[in-house]
Structure 1
Amino acid sequence: MSYFDAKEIEIISKEKIGSMIRKTGKHKMDQQINENDKEPSWDGYIMLYSDEKKNKKSIICRIPIQLKGKEVKKLDNKFISFPIEICDLNNYFNDGGIIFFVVEVLAPSEEARIFYKFLLPRDIQLIKDEIKKEGQKTVNVKIDCILNEKVDFFKVCEKFKIERDHQSIAQVKNALPLEEIRPSKIEFLSVDDKFDIFNSPLYPYVRDEYNHLIPVRDVIEPTQIIIERYSDFIVKGKKYFNSYKEHRDREGERYYSFGDRIVVKGESITLEPSMGTVIERLNTIDFFVNTFSKEDLNKLEINNKKAGDILTEEKSIINRVIHVCNKYKIDLNKFYIKNLSKADYYFLEVLYDMENNAFDFTTDSNPTLVKIPIQDNVVLALKVKNDKGEKYIDYYDSNSKLILISEYEDIKLMYSRFVILNSDLLLCCNFDKDTIIKSIKSLDYNNRNNVADSYLLLALESIKAWDKIHNKEYLDLANFILEWYEDILSYEIVKINKAQIEMRLNTKLSFDTMKELYNILNSTTDESCKAAINILIGNKEGFKTCFDKFSHDEKERFSNFPIYNLYEDNVE
């Protein structure tokens, strides 16, 4: 059973609102609140004045309000959810908006907490957008702004007026959300003090082609402000950081952070789980270790363990990560401890141990090419089996003597182990052009005439790899192969493929290259060569004429050549 009846709650709520407006309104506000719900949808108004005389000459505006009161057993809510009739929302919308108050009253002390919310046309439209059920009469609305003596409520009401003046009903009904507009710039009105943003929502605007402000179908309710301040952190002559962040939330809590999640609250200092790169985390751990003595570190605990032990363990992991990243050319600036999965930790150990492994022709069997994943990277390796189980070998180990052998018309042909790689297998972080070239050159004595076509396929796959990530090393490899076997491959093949490399690097062909291509076009009878050249010179009709002559299988084959990737880009 309630301690107060409805009439008493109404009286107390009016008193609390009146008292708080007097305290926070700079003596330039009055309220006129009706009794007994005499006016439908509205309970009264707040009057804003330009000075403390508060006469009719100094009226700035009149803001409609709705006031609700409720008895509670404790005052510890940070927000409330309150049911509002949809017909009332429609009335507020058509009238330009309202400030909605809910006063929580504690019995029997009559202590109170005042919640308020802007219900401007944009707020109401967003609420109505979420109504799914046809015929629904009420909707629960989250109300989380708290009016207390710390709030400059006069400024809050000024903001309400400014926003109301820029939110016409027609504009709001037709407004689009930010994700659909994707503007280069958004603007906010009436934000004078960065810490005032907790007292009311932020309403974004964009400008149209006539430079008019247009409301966006979004409302932003900040929960925290982060201010970056610049200051050097130097310990024993070494600079660790050059800035720190000040955090404030809407409850008034303030704390500081720097490095990779070092958090200072009052007199406590905490190292939280990593959110930065491995380099940032290592720098942060070094700061801790060099700033605090071992005794002090062991007084601290992280996850019920001594901080010194935790930091030593984490630093060991990071050093292994750095070793692996440097070994296999993984970008440390994009490698985050927080993203390491259980599988990543397993493969981290595999990669760490892999550099000590080599192929043993006496014991290793069943070699299989595998891509070892670690975060967003892959390392190409050879997985083999022996009497001890499985092991992995770096496929790009420059000291490896592994070669491929095949029989061709009773001739034993030896190939570089890299000749079998397609574009997907070439796309690995341990790709090393120089190791591939060294491997090819080491077998150059072996039947060059019989192996050149296989290496040509590797050149084409390298060009396709470039198309995926634009690493020039792939084009350099392709160019090397074309030049290395230039005396064996046909003149037309070499010129066409060197031309497509030139096109990728320069987006156009030189006069000399164009001249060579036209000469080939006028002399060759090979329809594939003609089709490729027409792509390179931008002759759409010429390419179609050649392509239409191909069989279905020939079209499939040609479409898989990297020259076809230039078709849409360079043929208008």
Structure 2
Amino acid sequence: MDLEKIATSAIVMEISKTNILSSFINDGDKEPCWDGNIYIHENAKHTKKNIKRIPTQVKGRATTAKSVKESIKYGVSYDDLNAYMMDGGTIFFVVYIDKEKGEVLQIYYTVLLPIKIKDIFKQKKKTYYVSLKKFPADNKKKIEVVYDAYANAQRQKSFAGTNSPTIEELSKKGVLEGISFHFVHTGEEVVPSMIPKIMEENSFTIYANVTGNPIGIPVEYCENISQVLTCQQFDRHVTVAGVKYYDKYQNIYSISTVKTVIGNCLTMTYPMIEETEKRKIPVTLEFSINGTLREQIKKIEFVIAIATKGGFEIGDIDIPVSLNREEFREKLNELTERVHWLKSIQDLLNRMHITRDLEINKCTEEDKKNLNLLMTALGEQKPIKDISQDLNILHTLKISNLSLGVIYIKHTDGKYYMYDYFNKHLEAYYKIEGREIRISQFSTMNVKDFTKYDNMYLPIILEDFKQIPISSDILNQANCLMLEMLKAYDQCKLKDLLYTAEQINEWLKQYPELIEQDICIINGCQITIRQGELNYADKAKLFAISEKSNNMNYRAGAFILLEYMDEAEKIFSSFNDTQMKEFSNYPIYNLYQRYKKKKG
């Protein structure tokens, strides 16, 4: 019995059943490692134009019907595997033949690509036992196997015999732009819902897309994959009774089910059913109420609205959902109580002018304690039983990702009360030579404070200064505070800081007899530069300061704003260490450093 001839004939026969594949396979092992090739043609006419070729090796084995399994192992020598690798890969066939009748029992195959062979070579042996699985009977599947083998062989041939880097190594070098893989499918157009079924139990190579390499580097081989999930996003409004809750939703497909996920809140799971088989299908509902404070409020309101209406809409399509069943009733009651509590928290945060969303899902026990304190002391305006902090100074109350500026004040009833520091005018003084001088409660704020507090309400700051009797001291304090705002803006780019600084500077300009106008001009110009460019009138005022002022700080500042850095540096060279340290603490020095960096 000529096993090799029977085996090669079986492969030729199976390949011949397809419309675009052909083969030329020897039956006498005349080549050292290969028996021939399978060819991929452009069309069913099998013209010679643009023919693609993938090498093959065919082995025959005499056995019995009882030996036929879903997969087998077959020994291949190191030399043969190495030859396959250096050639870019091969399709390796093993044909089981009935040892009594000579009939073909089963054809098995594996695609031996360089990336796979490298993995096999991790242990040095003379013979390696590779796994093979049944060659598909479906002609479309045969084409997919051959075409996929060819495509990967072409991409991997140039990397044969080299050590491929790992994804982690490429990422550390900073050259990894992404990863990709591909698969071949014949027939109808592929949509996301089909991908899990197409890829189930198949194999693919992961390629690393790196800077300067359009092909991609093969980095990992995945064999017989399972539990494939694909996700498809739909940009459609999700509404209940005309009220929009979400503007998109996702479908997550597996080989047997579809999960429709709306707002990471409502998940509907139902079987994957073909269009021709659609009928009334079972649906499993799940609700997930997590996330930030605003996210949880929105999710609960969505669920309660669905329960009230008996469903929701996706675009113009009504989706009936019944939540009046006993299994949901207790949960709905809990959600109704929770959303009332969450809204009371959000209302208080809104009154405190807090725009950042509270990450309530990340609250520690200490955060929860501080949240309860805030709700009791500020929300319900109840006194605090125990107070360990110093009174009448700014304190930080931490609640998860929020930092709140609060103050504790003792009332005439002997009890302590908490206040929002940025929502209450306080009379503040400092003592000097035995005298008490009125100041703004915000005078001592610095860069750190302006970038720290989430309840900072900037309009109250200028209002507070305006309530104090005007003096040169008060105006100088406001000016210094404004400079701290500019330094804070340079760090966090919060536009409200720049706007408030501009308002304070405009207020200062109204009192030329109490504050030097050169200060207001310079500060006004450095605010303008942070917003855009100086106009001609601004530059003219700065020229006048640079030529006539006796104050070297003013002249240096004017030169920086005019971008005459050489002139500014001449002044710096005349400064001693103390003078230079003082000037470098002004926000205008940030503009100087920014300009120098731009010039390289």
Alignment of 1:445-524 (within 5 A): 445=470, 448-486=471-509, 487=511, 488-506=514-532, 508-524=533-549
Pair 1:281-2:281 in alignment: no
Whether contact under 8 Å (1:371, 1:381) holds in the other structure is yes
CA deviations on 1:306-351 (whole Å, 9 max, x unpaired) are 422442354245424532442334446x656655555544444344
User: Are the equivalent residues in 2 in contact too, given 1:25–1:152 (CA < 8 A)?
Assistant: no
Q: Does 1:247 align with 2:252?
A: yes
1:419 match: 443
* Deviations 1:459-505, CA, capped at 9 Å, x for gaps: 11111121122223212322333333343222322221111111111
The answer for the alignment partner of 2:190 in structure 1 is: 193
Q: Which moved more, 1:551-560 or 1:89-98?
A: 89-98
Structure 2: distance between partners of 1:102 and 1:329: 73
Judge which range, 554-563 or 176-185, deviates more.
176-185
Instruction: Note if contact 2:252-2:258 (Cα within 8 Å) is conserved in structure 1.
Output: yes
Partner of 2:230 in structure 1? 225
Q: Structure 2 vs 1, CA of residues 241 and 542 (structure 1 numbering), >3 Å: closer, same or farther?
A: closer
Q: 1:159 aligns with which of 143, 148, 155?
A: 148
Tell me, yes or no, if the aligned pair for 2:236 and 2:249 is still in contact at 8 Å.
Answer: yes
User: Do the aligned residues in 2 keep the contact of 1:377 with 1:429 (CA within 8 Å)?
Assistant: yes
Q: Distance in 2 between matches of 1:297 and 1:146?
A: 51
Query: Structure 1 residues 566 and 239 mapped into 2: Cα distance closer, same or farther (>3 Å)?
Result: closer
Instruction: Report the Cα distance in structure 2 between the residues aligned to 1:83 and 1:320, rounded to whole angstroms.
Output: 71
- CA shift digits 1:26-75 (9 cap, x unpaired): 5766899999x9999889976656678999999742344799x9xxxxx9
Range 292-301 or range 479-488, more displaced: 292-301
The DSSP-based 3-state class of the residue aligned with 1:419 is: coil
For the residues of structure 1 that align with 2:25 and 2:287, how far apart are their CA atoms? 52
Verify: 1:290 aligned to 2:308, yes or no.
yes
Bigger radius of gyration: 2
Q: In structure 1, what is the Cα distance between the partners aligned to 2:50 and 2:482?
A: 82
> Retained in 2: the 8 A contact 1:354–1:394?
no
Q: Offset of 1:269 from its aligned partner?
A: 1.0
Aligned to 1:568: 593
Q: 1:273 to 1:391 in 2, by over 3 A?
A: same
Q: Distance in 2 between matches of 1:464 and 1:97?
A: 62
Q: CA RMSD in A?
A: 5.6
Residue 267 of structure 2 corresponds to residue 263 of structure 1: yes
CA 1:237 to 1:25, structure 2 compared with 1: closer, same or farther past 3 Å? farther
In 2, Cα distance between the equivalents of 1:467 and 1:295?
Answer: 54
CA distance in 2, matches of 1:569, 1:413: 39
Instruction: State how far apart, in whole Å, the 2-side matches of 1:33 and 1:299 are.
Output: 68
Structure 2 gap ranges (5+)? 62-68, 96-104, 271-282, 312-320
| 212-221 vs 430-439, which moves further | 212-221
Please name the residue that 1:366 is paired with: 390
Q: What CA deviation, in whole Å up to 9, does each residue of 1:405-433 have, x standing for no partner?
A: 11234432111211111122122332222
AA paired with 2:113?
A: L
Label 1:97 to 1:337 Cα distance change in 2 as closer, same or farther (>3 A). farther
Candidates 437, 441, 466, aligned match of 1:441: 466
Q: Take 1:144 and 1:551, find their aligned partners in 2: how far apart are those partners?
A: 81
Partner of 1:72: none
2:476 match: secondary structure: helix
C-alpha change, 1:495 and 1:323, in structure 2 (3 Å) is same
Report which stretch shifted further, 292-301 or 490-499: 292-301
Is the contact made by 1:359 and 1:393 (CA closer than 8 Å) also made in structure 2?
A: no
- Decide whether aligned partners of structure 1 residues 295 and 230 sit closer, same or farther in structure 2, where only a CA change above 3 A counts: closer
Measure how far apart 1:441 and its partner are. Answer: 1.0
Match of 1:405 among 418, 429, 438: 429
What's the TM-score, normalizing by structure 1? 0.71
User: Structure 2: which amino acid aligns with 1:504?
Assistant: R
Aligned residues: 525
CA distance in 1 between counterparts of 2:567 and 2:548 reads 15
C-alpha distance in structure 2 between counterparts of 1:410 and 1:144, whole Å:
95
Q: What is the letter of the counterpart of residue 568 of structure 2?
A: F
Residue 273 (structure 2) aligns with: none
Query: Following the alignment from structure 1 to structure 2, what is the Cα–Cα distance between the partners of residues 273 and 115?
Result: 49
SS in 2 for 1:255: strand
- Give the AA of the match of 2:88: G
Measured at CA, do residues 218 and 490 of structure 1 come closer, stay the same or move farther in structure 2, by a change above 3 Å? farther
Check conservation: 2:381, 2:417, Cα contact below 8 A. Answer: no
Do the aligned residues in 1 keep the contact of 2:89 with 2:157 (CA within 8 Å)? no
Distance 1:120 1:43 in 2: 19
Greater CA deviation, 311-320 or 432-441? 311-320
Q: Which amino acid aligns with 2:302?
A: T
**Quick one: which of 554, 564, 571 aligns to 1:539?**
564
1:366 and 1:384 in contact (8 A); partners too: no
Residue identity matched to 2:534: L
Per the alignment, residue 214 of structure 1 pairs with: 215
Contact 2:177 2:211 in 1 (8 A): no
For 2:64, the equivalent position in structure 1 comes to none
Amino acid at match of 1:256: T
CA contact (8 A) 1:278 1:322 kept: no
Q: Which amino acid aligns with 1:466?
A: Y
Task: Give the match's secondary structure for 1:512.
Answer: helix
- CA displacement at 1:190 relative to structure 2: 5.8
- Helix, strand or coil for the counterpart of 1:155? helix
Instruction: Note closer, same or farther for the CA distance 1:286–1:555 as it changes in structure 2 (3 Å cut).
Output: farther
Pick which of 458-467 and 276-285 moved more. Answer: 276-285
Name the CA distance, whole Å, in 2 between partners of 1:554 and 1:142.
Answer: 78
- For residues 426 and 142 of structure 1, what CA distance do their matches in structure 2 show? 66
Secondary structure of 1:245 counterpart:
strand
Give me the whole-angstrom Cα distance separating, in 1, the residues matched to 2:481 and 2:523: 12
Question: Counterpart in 2 of 1:355?
Answer: 378
Determine helix, strand or coil for the equivalent of 2:397: strand
1:3 — aligned with what? none
Contact 1:380 1:430 in 2 (8 A): yes
Q: TM-score, normalised by structure 2?
A: 0.68
CA distance in 2, matches of 1:239, 1:253: 27
- Secondary structure, aligned partner of 2:443: helix
Structure 1: distance between partners of 2:132 and 2:443: 65
**In structure 2, distance between residues paired with 1:512 and 1:93:** 74
Per-residue deviation, residues 419-460 of structure 1 (Å, max 9, x unmatched)? 111122122332222211221111135xx1233322222111
Change (3 A) 1:97 1:383: farther
Q: What SS does the corresponding residue of 2:575 show, helix, strand or coil? A: coil
Q: 1:149 to 1:296 in 2, by over 3 A?
A: farther
What is the percentage of aligned positions where both structures have the same residue?
A: 20
Change (3 A) 1:100 1:421: farther
Distance 1:359 1:402 in 2: 19
Unaligned residue ranges in structure 1 (runs of 5+): 1-9, 70-74, 104-110
Q: Structure 1 residues 406, 218: CA separation in 2 closer, same or farther (over 3 Å shift)?
A: same
Write the distance in 2 (CA, Å) between the matches of 1:338 and 1:510.
50
Report whether the alignment pairs 1:315 with 2:307: no
Distance 1:64 1:281 in 2: 57
Does the CA-based 8 Å contact 2:408-2:416 persist in structure 1? yes
User: 1:83, 1:287 → 2: CA distance?
Assistant: 64
